Amino acid sequence: MRRIVFISVLLSVLTAAAATAQLRAGRVELSTAVSLQLFTDEGESFFVGNIPLRVGIFAMPNFAVEPEVILTFVEDQDMGYLVSANLAYHVPLRKAAIFILGGVGHANSVPFHNTANSILGGFESSSAVFINGGIGSKIFLTDSAALRNELRFQNFFWENDSEQYFSLFMGFSVFVP
């Protein structure tokens, strides 16, 4: 796990340093990405896919409010969803930015188990709350388009249980005036 964190931070720093779009107040960022994870449970392996859809609103220069919906797909399961409210602070570098992100959310699933019917359906509550933390980079291709990568930590809580996950998201962002 340390290796994944190290590689993600190194990738963020190197790509951001190599690549100056303005992250000014009033700008809106529309972004999506993909994260694929492989899990093994009792000898069976399966893939989990996550697709976040975000709208980032720069309330102040370099500081964005990012509401987000993550659609979660697991082989032979129903789709899960995660809805969160995140705050992101950006450190601009020439034609890139490094950012840190934090937030909270609500979900009908957790990535490993995916649906409310599998893990959460056995409890009185069929939902979970979670916290987000992340670090990543945006590499600007133009003033209004960027490649985005992010290492995300999520801690899910439901009833008297919790689970933690790391995900690596790779995607793109479009900025509007």
Fold adopted by 2-176: Porin (2.40.160)
In the chain, pLDDT over 70 holds for what percent of residues?
79
> 145 in helix, strand or coil?
strand
Q: What is the pLDDT of residues 65-99, one digit of tens each?
A: 999 999 988 777 778 889 999 999 999 998 999 99
114: exposed, middle or buried (Cβ count in 10 Å: 0-12, 13-18, 19+): buried
**pLDDT for 20:** 46
Dig out the tokens for 102 from the structure. 């934090």
The answer to whether the beta carbons of residues 105 and 83 sit under 8 Å apart is yes
**pLDDT for 130:** 94
In the chain, pLDDT over 90 holds for what percent of residues?
49
| Sequence-ordered list of residues with C-beta below 8 angstroms from that of 23, at least 6 positions apart, any chain | 58, 61, 62, 64, 90, 92, 97
Tell me the C-alpha distance between 154 and 56, whole Å.
19
**pLDDT for 111:** 66
Tell me the C-alpha distance between 109 and 25, whole Å.
34
Tell me the C-alpha distance between 65 and 59, whole Å.
7
pLDDT in tens, the chain (177 residues): 666 656 655 555 544 444 346 788 999 999 999 988 777 767 777 778 889 999 999 999 999 999 999 998 877 777 888 999 999 999 999 899 999 999 999 998 776 655 444 444 444 456 889 999 999 999 999 999 999 999 999 998 888 888 888 889 999 999 998
**pLDDT for 39:** 72
Q: What sign does the CA torsion over 165, 168, 174, 177 have?
A: positive
Q: What sign does the CA torsion over 12, 17, 18, 22 have?
A: positive
